[in-house]
Amino acid sequence: MSTYPDALTGEHAARRNRRVLLSILTGLPFRIIQVVSGVMLVPLAYHYLGSIRFGLWAAITALAPIVALADLGIGSGLITAVARAVGRDDPDEARRAAASGLSAVTVIAALLASLVAFAGLLGDWAGWFNVTGTEAAPEARPAALLFIASALALLPVTLASRLRAGLQESFISSFWEAAGVIGALAAFVALTRLDAGMPALALALGGVPVLAGIGNLAWLYGQHRWLRPRLTDIDFAALRPVLRLGFLYFILMAATTLANASDSIVAIRLLGPDETGMIAICGKIFGAGQALVLATLTPLWPAFSEALARRDMNWIRRTMARALIAGLGGASLFAVGLAVSTNEVVHFWIGPAMTMPTSLLAANAIWLILIGAGNAFGMLLNGAGIVRLQIIAALGYGLVAFGLKFILPRYLGPAGIVWATVAGYGGIVVPLYAGFTWRYLTDRTEP
């Protein structure tokens, strides 16, 4: 049972509900702006670059989630660490974890930037991206290097959004992230008018969000002066629990990225840049639905952490049921709507020459529904710090999905790459998450 008096538990629950609702209601408009701006980049890039160069562009930008793994899960670990510290009313613990995490990620980013610079001199980037001998070959190296450099620079500043999440202030980060996407879109349009080339576009797409992240970090420290780092706060002992949890998140994200973010990279190697462009466009459209579903569910992660710290299991059970309804219901609505309208959108954007196969639309729709269910369970598991189960599920899912991506396209065409993801996630992750969550909530009166 709760260790807090009923009145105090109710007060915390009401505050938690307000924070979650505020994060959803104020965060969703900004998330919609992000999604719309990001989706608008697709026809702009396709028309400016052409099919072959767009395929290279899709493969290069697919590196972003892979580079994001370089923080070794510290950002994800900070969400839970800060939320728990807030639940224990311990601001000093939160500040030490934040300062130590920021220092560690900055060092990691600097070291990796040096390695990337070295690889830039020696690597056959056109060969890696399977565009040797095409019009895209000369741009492969500079575009990839500039985009990766920007993604590395984003690593430390993006911790602001992680800290905001731990404080249950994701709605503020959504504003800055939307500003970054809109700024990148505006720079993209201006550079295409100037015919600046793919390297300049890569720098704009990756660099403008870095500026927005710096703004978010500065505003965070302006609002919460108690969170401002001091040299004495940088302490390996304070970082150790974050690293332990973060390393588990790193393994989890690496396994998930192997299955989720590898589509364009696998496609450009197996199918060539033209087919890669089609998969990327369809994925971008359905990714808009995924982003909106996740924007609704993500505020629950720190809320579950704080509720568990206060042992408020009744609130957790009620909220978990609502999250599952929202995740499945919202994802299903988006999936059906996008499956019906995607080809009309593509014909309007790109032209009637490009039509998405029904199999590719169906695979993306089912994938979106599964994401809604899986992430509803995942928010509770993240909030409870139950990462090992997620790692087991993600490793199985990642290996199965990644392996099937090299097999199914032979029989199903481009859609086979997405069906591989559906098979792995739907067959492994969702059943494991659902079964464990049911036992966790029915067998415990407290965490």
Q: Could you read off the pLDDT of 157-190 as tens digits, one per residue?
A: 988 888 888 887 777 887 888 888 889 989 999 9
Q: How confident is the model at residue 26 (pLDDT cuts 50, 70, 90)?
A: low
Q: Is residue 399 situated within a structural domain? A: yes
When mean pLDDT is compared across 34-48, 193-207, 313-327, 417-431, the lowest value belongs to 34-48
Give the per-residue pLDDT at 447: 40
Question: In this predicted model, what pLDDT tens digit does every residue of 118-157 receive, in sequence order?
Answer: 877 777 888 888 888 888 889 999 999 999 999 999 999 9
Give the per-residue pLDDT at 215: 93
Q: Is residue 85 situated within a structural domain? A: yes
389 pLDDT above the threshold of 50: yes
Provide mean pLDDT across the span 423-446: 86
User: What percent of the chain has a predicted confidence (pLDDT) above 90?
Assistant: 25
When mean pLDDT is compared across 116-130, 195-209, 259-273, the lowest value belongs to 259-273
204 pLDDT above the threshold of 80: yes
DSSP assignment string, 12-54? HHHHHHHHHHHHHHHHHHHHHHHHHHHHHHHHHHHHHHHHHHH
What is the number of structural domains in the chain?
A: 1
Give the per-residue pLDDT at 301: 79
Give the per-residue pLDDT at 261: 66
Residue type, 332: S
Provide mean pLDDT across the span 213-242: 82
Q: How confident is the model at residue 9 (pLDDT cuts 50, 70, 90)?
A: low
Tokens 């729709």, located at residue: 365
Q: Is residue 30 situated within a structural domain? A: yes
Q: Is residue 1 situated within a structural domain? A: no
Give the per-residue pLDDT at 238: 64
Q: Is residue 117 situated within a structural domain? A: yes
Question: In this predicted model, what pLDDT tens digit does every residue of 325-372 receive, in sequence order?
Answer: 988 998 999 999 999 998 888 888 777 877 888 999 999 999 999 999
Give the per-residue pLDDT at 387: 79
Alpha-carbon torsion (258, 333, 386, 309), positive or negative: positive
CB atoms within 10 A of CB 423: 18
Give the per-residue pLDDT at 246: 74
Question: In this predicted model, what pLDDT tens digit does every residue of 229-265 receive, in sequence order?
Answer: 887 777 777 667 777 777 777 887 777 776 666 777 7
How far is the C-alpha of 84 from the C-alpha of 164, rounded, in Å?
A: 13
Tokens 């720098």, located at residue: 203
Higher pLDDT, 41 or 203: 203
Give the per-residue pLDDT at 129: 86
Give the per-residue pLDDT at 444: 65
> Please, which residues have CB within 8 angstroms of residue 370's CB and are 6 or more apart in sequence?
331, 422, 425, 426, 429, 430
> Please, which residues have CB within 8 angstroms of residue 438's CB and are 6 or more apart in sequence?
none
Instruction: Please name which of 52, 100, 53 lies closest in space to residue 75, comparing C-alpha atoms.
Output: 100
440 pLDDT above the threshold of 50: yes
Instruction: Please name which of 278, 315, 308, 254 lies closest in space to residue 65, comparing C-alpha atoms.
Output: 254
Instruction: Please name which of 101, 192, 184 lies closest in space to residue 147, comparing C-alpha atoms.
Output: 184
Quote the mean pLDDT of the chain. 84
DSSP state of 235: -
Question: In this predicted model, what pLDDT tens digit does every residue of 109-127 receive, in sequence order?
Answer: 999 999 888 877 777 888 8
Q: Is residue 216 situated within a structural domain? A: yes
| Its pTM surpasses 0.85 | no
Q: Is residue 289 situated within a structural domain? A: yes
DSSP assignment string, 48-69? HHHHHHHHHHHHHHTTHHHHHG
Residue type, 97: A
Give the per-residue pLDDT at 122: 73
Tokens 């993209």, located at residue: 188
Instruction: Please name which of 260, 267, 248, 266 lies closest in space to residue 398, comparing C-alpha atoms.
Output: 260
Provide mean pLDDT across the span 199-223: 92
Give the per-residue pLDDT at 12: 63
Higher pLDDT, 272 or 202: 202
Q: Is residue 137 situated within a structural domain? A: yes
- Report the Cα 391 to chain-centroid distance in Å: 17
- Report the Cα 299 to chain-centroid distance in Å: 14
Expressed as residue numbers, the domain containing 100 is 6-443
Instruction: Please name which of 148, 168, 201 lies closest in space to residue 309, comparing C-alpha atoms.
Output: 168
27 pLDDT above the threshold of 60: yes
425 pLDDT above the threshold of 60: yes
1 pLDDT above the threshold of 60: no
